[in-house]
Amino acid sequence: MTTPRPAPFGRALCAMITPFTAEGALDLDGAQRLADRLVAGGCDGLVLSGTTGESPTTSDTEKAGLVRVVREAVGDRAHIVAGVGTADTRHTVELALAAEKAGADGLLAVTPYYSRPPQDAVEAHFRELADACGLPLALYDIPGRTGTRIEPETMIRLAEHPRIVAVKDCAYDLLGTQKVLARTGMAYYTGCDEYVLALYAIGGTGYISTVANVTPRHFRAVIDAFDAGDTAEAARRQRLTIPLTELMMGSGLPGTVTAKALLSRLGLPAGPVRAPLRPAGREASDGLLAAYEGLVAA
């Protein structure tokens, strides 16, 4: 038997893209169809309006509308976690309250970016957010994008708040992660697809994956094999995902761009990206499709 792990939003989560129409408007029907496919493919939860969901270029009204229609599509079959992180504490709280009203089950908030606040300000930002809203909150630690780390000691203090329950971990610091895991009850989700098995093996809860937009079953199979006690099979399945993960997340193109390119090639809801992002070229999308087909055939 495996040891129960804290899983406030399930174990297998997808950082879902936001489908747009050919004209660039929000594609609500496409969002419902994609959400349904992801849940049927093994996703316990969907993270909406994260960076993969192009949150910097969607309006507050679009974000709330997306939560409402995805809730309608998946019902109680999956958790809905709304991305609400901004560089402005007041705006972040406004987004959180709107997400709660629209039917979200939880929140994901990135560290305020660009301004690079010190750790006491980072802590105060997240506490203000958690105090303002009744939903459980996951902290998104991705210093390579924001410029500011949520240091392990800050994370440990924040874990004392009853509504701060989880972390999306993109800090690439397994030592720091283990320090927090050892001293708190925080649920740790890797946001780095190549680390799904590594973080799970040291006590993580699961993952929030961008690549799962196209391959939800393959990442679910990694943690299912580990839970069944077959660590060799879990490692084999993790390795199978690496060629596609490398192309989608390590090719120099944002994951949003590569996910939408591949979804479009598969005839699934996606649409264009919004500026300043630009679509993947034909050569890149051909490579993505070949890697996807190789994974499916393996």
Q: What's the pLDDT tens digit per position in 239-261?
A: 999 999 999 999 899 999 999 99
Comparing CA positions, the residue from 274, 263, 204 lying closest to residue 26 is 274
- Has residue 265 been placed in a domain? no
Q: How far apart are CA 282 and CA 284, in angstroms?
A: 5
The reported pTM is 0.97
Active-site annotation holds for 168: yes
> What's the CATH number where 181 sits?
3.20.20.70
Residue 5's pLDDT is 77
Q: What's the pLDDT tens digit per position in 171-210?
A: 999 999 999 999 999 999 999 999 999 999 999 999 999 9
- Has residue 269 been placed in a domain? no
Q: How far apart are CA 64 and CA 220, in angstroms?
A: 28
Q: Give the pLDDT band of residue 1 (cuts 50, 70, 90).
A: very low
Active-site annotation holds for 195: no
Marked catalytic residue, from 140, 188, 189, 200: 140
- Has residue 38 been placed in a domain? yes
Could you list the residue range(s) of the whole structural domain that residue 143 is in?
12-232
Marked catalytic residue, from 168, 188, 207, 260: 168
What's the domain count of the chain?
Answer: 1
- Has residue 256 been placed in a domain? no
Comparing CA positions, the residue from 11, 52, 46, 39 lying closest to residue 197 is 11
* 208 belongs to an annotated ligand binding site: yes
- Has residue 4 been placed in a domain? no
- Has residue 127 been placed in a domain? yes
Residue 6's pLDDT is 84
Q: How far apart are CA 193 and CA 248, in angstroms?
A: 10
